[in-house]
């Protein structure tokens, strides 16, 4: 990032569906493995609860959301909280492009779900790179 | 009486940022999938907080147990604010105090010790589910009399 700030990757909590686990796993892949030097994550519930510290961070830092389902809780909450939302990803969109990677399991994803998370993580990492280079994705 | 009347809602914090949040989610899922699959349902907390009317109605009508990762207690506060007082509330950091040698590190891939701890938290949630059902049974019996 030009000014050294971290890009905030916010997945939906998605505890009820495999799609949520895919989104969260993709976020962790980016934050912990692919781009640990310039990304971070925040609890979506804190944002929804109006935690002042979290609201300040997402209003000042570029944000990328990853939602499991079309309810788009992460995207809507960042928008409502006046966060600097740069790009939103939806697991169901990725699934449409990779129908062979059907996710199953919530506590532990099947191989298809893990691979789908990796596909999304790669796209998110590319977006992170674009933002870091000062290009709008 | 329908079977649905006997369900308990387990509301976990999302807790993506911290290992304790991951323990909350996994422990909640262990209760739903393994320990008390017929007696419990869960609610996506951000959907609940963002105005999911079905979720809020459920939590108003049925007993809930909140499971929070940290002292900010988003699940407990959110449930109280939008629905009603939870039957019981657990905080992972409180349970962690009973395991002084354990340090939680993982947000994604849990170690064997972290899995064991998640199972311990799940057992505590399951005990609260049983308490909630006993209390509900007692109330129903007294209403019939």
pLDDT for res A121: 98
Report pLDDT digits (tens) over A18-36: 999 999 999 999 999 999 9
The CATH code belonging to domain B7-137 is 3.40.50
Contact residues, chain A, for B33 at CB < 8 Å: 106-107
pLDDT for res B81: 85
E strands present in B26-125: 40-42, 64-68, 88-91
CB B48 within 8 A of CB B13: no
pTM of the model: 0.90
pLDDT for res B64: 93
Nearest to B44 among A28, A42, A73 (CB): A73
Averaging pLDDT over each range in A14-23, A112-121, B129-138, which range is the top one? Answer: A112-121
Tokens of B37: 């699959």
Question: Could you say which DSSP state residue B5 is in?
Answer: G
For range B116-122, the mean pLDDT: 97
The distance between the two most distant Cα atoms of chain A, rounded to a whole number of Å, is 42
CA B92 centroid distance within chain: 11
Virtual CA dihedral for A30, B70, B106, B17, nearest 10 degrees? 0
Contact residues, chain B, for A76 at CB < 8 Å: 50
3-state SS, residue B1? coil
Among B139, B124, B130, B103, smallest CA distance to B19 is for B103
Nearest to B16 among A11, A73, A107 (CB): A11
Q: Percent of chain A at pLDDT above 90?
A: 80
Are A41 and B42 inside 8 Å of each other by CB?
no
pLDDT for res B47: 76
Confidence of residue B3 (pLDDT cuts 50, 70, 90): very low
Are A24 and B13 inside 8 Å of each other by CB?
no
Are A13 and B26 inside 8 Å of each other by CB?
no
Q: Which class does domain A7-128 fall in?
A: alpha beta
DSSP track, chain A: -TT-PPEEEEE----SSHHHHHHHHHHHIIIIIISTTTEEE--HHHHHTT-HHHHHHHHHSEEEEEESSTT-HHHHHHHHTT-EEEEEEEHHHHHHH-TT-----SSS--HHHHHHHHHHHHHHHHHHHHHHTT---
CB A130 within 8 A of CB A136: yes
Question: Could you say which DSSP state residue B13 is in?
Answer: -
CA contacts within 13 A on the Cβ side of B59: 33
Instruction: Compare A54 and A48 and report the one with higher pLDDT.
Output: A54
Contacts of A24 (CB under 8 A, 6+ apart): A11, A12, A13, A14, A66, B16
Whether A83 and chain B come into contact, CB under 8 Å, resolves to no
Virtual CA dihedral for A81, A83, A85, A88, nearest 10 degrees? -40
Are B16 and A13 inside 8 Å of each other by CB?
yes
Q: What count of CB pairs under 8 Å joins A to B?
A: 92
Confidence of residue A48 (pLDDT cuts 50, 70, 90): confident
For range A87-94, the mean pLDDT: 97
Q: Sheet holding B64-68: strands in order across?
A: B40-42, B8-12, B64-68, B88-91
């Amino acid at each position: 990032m030009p000014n050294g700030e971290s890009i905030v990757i916010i997945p939906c909590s998605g505890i009820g569906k495999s799609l949520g686990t895919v989104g969260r796993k993709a976020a962790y892949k980016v934050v912990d493995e692919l781009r640990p030097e310039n990304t971070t994550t925040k609890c979506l519930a804190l944002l929804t609860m109006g935690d002042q510290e979290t609201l300040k961070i997402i209003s000042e830092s570029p944000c990328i959301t990853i939602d499991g389902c079309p309810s788009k809780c992460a995207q809507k909450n960042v928008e409502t909280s006046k966060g600097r939302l740069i790009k939103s990803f939806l697991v169901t969109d990725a699934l449409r492009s990779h129908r062979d990677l059907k996710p199953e399991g919530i506590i532990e994803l099947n191989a298809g779900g893990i691979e789908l998370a990796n596909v999304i993580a790669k796209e998110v990492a590319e977006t992170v790179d674009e933002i870091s280079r000062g290009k709008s994705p | 009486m329908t079977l649905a009347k006997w369900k308990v809602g387990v509301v976990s914090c999302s807790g993506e940022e911290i290992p304790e949040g991951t323990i909350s989610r996994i422990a909640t899922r262990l209760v739903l999938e393994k320990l008390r699959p017929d007696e419990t349902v869960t609610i996506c907390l951000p959907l609940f907080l963002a105005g999911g009317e079905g979720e809020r109605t459920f939590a108003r009508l049925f007993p809930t147990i909140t499971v929070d990762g940290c002292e900010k207690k988003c699940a407990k506060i959110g449930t109280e604010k939008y629905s009603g007082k939870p039957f019981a509330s657990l905080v992972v950091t409180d349970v962690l105090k009973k395991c002084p040698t354990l340090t939680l590190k993982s947000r994604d891939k849990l170690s064997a010790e972290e899995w064991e701890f998640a199972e311990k938290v799940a057992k505590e949630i399951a005990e609260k589910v049983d308490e909630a059902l006993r209390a509900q049974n007692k109330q129903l019996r007294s209403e019939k009399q």
